[in-house]
Amino acid sequence: MPLPKSILPVQNGPAGATPKGAGEVNVSCVLPLQETQAAHTLRGSRASTTILLVEDEEFVREVTCEVLEFEGFSVLKARSAVEALRAFHLGANVQLLLTDVVLPGRNGCRLARDLLSLDPGLKVVLISGYPENEIPRGDLPDCEAIYLSKPFSVESLMQAVRSALQSGNHTKSPDPAPLSS
State pLDDT tens for residues 140-159.
555 668 999 999 999 999 99
Q: Model confidence over 18-34: pLDDT tens digits? A: 666 676 766 555 544 44
Confidence of residue 73 (pLDDT cuts 50, 70, 90): very high
Instruction: Reduce the DSSP state of residue 150 to 3 states and report it.
Output: coil
Give the integer Cα–Cα distance in Å for 38 and 36: 5
Report, as an integer, the average pLDDT of 55-78.
95
Residues of the chain with CATH 3.40.50.2300: 37-166
Q: Model confidence over 106-138: pLDDT tens digits? A: 889 889 989 999 999 999 999 988 777 666 555
Q: What's the DSSP call for residue 122?
A: -
Strand partners, 21: 24
The predicted pLDDT at position 39 comes to 40
Asked whether the bond before 32 is cis by omega within 30 degrees of 0, the reply is: no
CA-CA distances (angstroms) from residue 102 to 28, 55, 111, 130?
44, 9, 11, 9
The predicted pLDDT at position 25 comes to 62
> Burial of 21 by CB count in 10 Å (0-12 exposed, 13-18 middle, 19+ buried)?
exposed
Class of domain 37-166 as given by CATH: alpha beta
Write down how long the chain is. Answer: 181
Strands 94-100 and 74-78: unpaired
For 20, half-sphere exposure in the C-beta direction (CA atoms, 13 angstrom radius) is: 8
Q: Give the residue with greater pLDDT, 160 vs 26.
A: 160
Strand partners, 123: 96
Residue 161 pLDDT exceeds 80:
yes
